[in-house]
Structure 1
Amino acid sequence: MTSLLTNASAMTALQTLSSTNKNLATTQNRIATGLRISEASDNAAYWSIATGMKAQNKALSAVQDSLGFGKAILDTTYTALQEAIDKVTEMLGKYVTGGTDGIDQDAVDAELTQLKEQITAIADNANFEGQNLLKDGGTPVDVVSGYIGTAADTEKLQILTLAAYDLSTEVDGITDLDTAQAALDAMKSQAATYGAQKMRIESQSSFTAKQIDAIDRGIGQLVDADMNAESARLAALQVQQQLGIQALSIANSSTQNILTLFRG
C-alpha cells in the first residue's frame, strides 16, 4: 500500500541515518581525544578504575619528587661529610707528627685549629634548601619514600628518616690522637649510613618510575582508543552516512511519484 500520510521507507531511512550520525560523532570524539572512554557515561566501571589509577599515579609522582629532594639532601650531606673525614685524617697525621721530638708544637696546634675550623665551616655550609643534617642543632628530615593507596590511612605513606649528625660537636671533642681516631670512626660509620640511605633512595626512585609507567600502560589499556580501528570505522561510517542520505532522499521522493497517478 502506498500512503501519502505515512512514509515508512523515509522513517526507516531516517532512523538508520540518525544511528549512523551518532556512531560517527562517537568515533570523531575518540579520534579527537584519543580516548575510547573519556567520561563515566562511556563505561562507568572502566572510567572509575582509570580515574583511581590516575590519582595513584599523581601520588607516586609526588613520591618521586620527594625522593629526588631527599637524594639531593643526602648528596650534599655525604659530600660534606666525606670532605670532613679527609680533614680529620689530616688531623691524625698532625697528631702523629706532633709526637716527634723537635717538631714545632705551636705550628702543629695552629694547623689543627685551622682544620677544626674548616670542618665546622663545612658543617655549616652542608645546606640544601634550608635542610642541614650536619650543623650544630640540625634536625632529622623525613622523606616520603612510598605510597600505598590501599592501606589504612595511617599507613599510606612510607617514610625514610635522614638522621642529623652534629659534626661540629664531634670534631670539637678531638683533643689528641685517640679522640681523633674515635671521631674518625664515628664519622665513617655515619657516612656509611648516609651512603646506604642514598642507595635505597636511588633504588626506590627507579622502582617508582617503573611503577608509574606500568600504571600508565594499565590506564591506556582501559581507556585509550585504538586509532587504527577508529580510522577504519570513521571511513566506513562516512560511507554509511552518504548512503543513508541518499536512501532518505529516495524515500522522500517516492511520494512525488503519486502525482503521476492523477495526471490525465
Structure 2
Amino acid sequence: MSSIHTNTAAMTALKSLQATNKALESTQKNISTGFRVSDASDNAAYWSIATTMRSDNKALSTVEDALGLGAAKVDVAYTAMDSAIDVVDEIKAKLVASREPGVDKTKIQSEIGALQEQLKSIADSASFSGENWLSSSEASGATKEIVASFTRSSSGTVSVGTVSVDVFSSKLFDSATTDRSTLASSNQGLLDSVLADYDADGDTTADATYTVSVYNLDISSATDVQIDGMIWNVENVLEDMTTSAADLGATKSRIDMQSEFVGNLMDSISSGIGKLVDADMTEESTRLQALQTQQQLGIQALSMANSGSQSLLSLFR
C-alpha cells in the first residue's frame, strides 16, 4: 500500500542511517583520542582499573625520583667516606714514621695537622640537598629513610616501603665540632670521639690514657707508648670507616636495583593499561572506511525512499 502518511521504506532507511552515524561517531572518537575506553560509559570496569593503575604509576614515578635522590645522598656520603679513609691512612703512616728514633715529631705533627683539617673539610663538604650524613648532630641509632616502593594489596590498601640507612655509623664528626681545639660533648663521630686507653702489656692496666681524638691528636711531645696507642686507635677507626663505607656501597647497590625494578614495573603497568583501553588504530581505520561507505549508501537509500512519495503526484495529473 502506498501512503502519504507512513513511508515505511524511509523510516527503515532513516533508522539504518542513524545507527551508522552513531557507530561512525564512536569510531571517530576512538581515533581522535587513541582510546577505545576513554570514559566510564565506554566500559566502566576497564575504565576504573585503568584510572587506578594510572594513579599508581604516578606514585611509582615519584618513588623513582625519591630513589634517585636517595642514591645521590648515599653516593656523596660514600665518596666522602672513601676520601676520608685515604686521609686517615696517611695519618696512620705518619704515626708509624714518628716511631723512628731521632725523627722530628714536630714536623710530622705539622703534616698530621694538615691531614686533620682535610678530614674536617671532607666531612663538611659531603652535603647533598641540605643533608650531611658525615657531619651531623644525629644520635646513636639514628637512621634515614629513603622511599623505595609503592604497593597496592589485593584488598586495595596502599603502602609505602622504605630503605633504612644507618647514618650514625657513618658519622665522622658531630656538627658541634668546629675546630681541633674542641671535642663534641655528645653524639661524637668516628673522628672526634675520644681515643680509647691503650694497654701495651696486656695486664688490664692502661699504659696510655687519652683525652684526644683522631681529629686533634698531637705527637709533638708524645712518648713511644702513647704513639703506639694512637696507631692502635687509628687502626680501629679505619676498620669502622671501612665497614661504614661497605655498608654505604651495599645500600647504593640496593637502591640502584630497586630503581631499575621500579622503572620496569612502570613499563609493565603502562603496557597492561594499554591492552585494556587503547584503540587498535589499524582496526579503527578499517572500520571508519566501512562506516563511511555505509553512511553514503544510507543517505542514498533514504533519498530513494523519500523520492517514492513524490511519484504519487503523477497519478493525479
Residue 4 of structure 1 corresponds to 4
Matched, 1:170 2:175: no
Q: Which amino acid aligns with 1:253?
A: S
Question: Shift of residue 95 of structure 1?
Answer: 0.7
Cα pair distance change 1:154/1:261, threshold 3 Å: closer
The CA distance in 1 between the partners of 2:104 and 2:285, in whole Å, is: 88
| Residue 152 to residue 137, structure 1, CA distance change in 2 (3 Å) | farther
Alignment-derived partner of residue 29 in structure 1: 29
Which one has a larger percent helix, Structure 1 or Structure 2?
1
Q: Deviations over 1:216-262 (max 9, x none)?
A: 00000000000000000000000000001001111111100001111
Shift of 1:60: 0.8
Q: In the TM superposition, what whole-angstrom CA distance separates every residue of 1:88-140 from its partner, at most 9, and x where no partner exists?
A: 11111101111111211011112112111111111111000101111031464
Matched residue, 2:150: 147
Q: What is the match of residue 235 of structure 1?
A: 289
Counterpart of 1:104? 104
CA deviation profile, 1:175-211 (whole Å, cap 9, x unmatched): 4111110110000000000000000000000010010
After TM superposition, the score normalised by the length of structure 1 is: 0.96
Q: Which moved more, 1:238-247 or 1:160-169?
A: 160-169
What residue in structure 2 maps to residue 217 of structure 1? 271
Letter matched to residue 142 of structure 1: E
1:5-84 superposed matches below 5 A: 5-84=5-84
The 3-state SS of whatever aligns with 1:156 is strand
Figure out how many residues of one structure are paired with residues of the other and give that number: 263
Contact 1:133-1:163 at 8 Å conserved across structures: no
User: In 2 relative to 1, CA 151–237 (structure 1 residues): closer, same or farther, beyond 3 Å?
Assistant: closer
Higher mean C-alpha displacement, 116-125 vs 186-195: 116-125
SS of residue matched to 2:190: helix
Q: Structure 1 residues 152, 191: closer, same or farther in 2, change over 3 A?
A: farther
Contact 2:152–2:158 (CA<8 Å) still a contact in 1? no
The answer on whether the counterparts of 2:70 and 2:146 sit within 8 Å (CA) in structure 1 is yes
- Structure 2: which amino acid aligns with 1:183? V
Structure 1 alignment gaps of length 5 or more: none
Aligned twin of 2:203: none
Partners of 1:2 and 1:74 lie apart in 2 by 89
Distance 1:248-1:160 versus aligned 2 partners, 3 A rule: same
Number of the residue aligned with 1:201: 255
Match of 2:163 in 1: 160
Separation in structure 2 between the aligned mates of residue 148 and residue 97 of structure 1, nearest angstrom: 57
Q: Which amino acid counterpart does residue 188 of structure 1 have in structure 2?
A: T
Secondary structure in structure 2 of the residue aligned to 1:170: coil
Cα distance change on mapping 1:4 and 1:51 into 2, 3 Å: same
RMSD: 1.5
- Greater relative contact order, per chain length (Cα 8 Å cut-off, separation 6+): 1
Partner residue of 2:204? none
Displacement of 1:166 in angstroms is 2.1
- How far 1:151 sits from its partner (Å)? 7.3
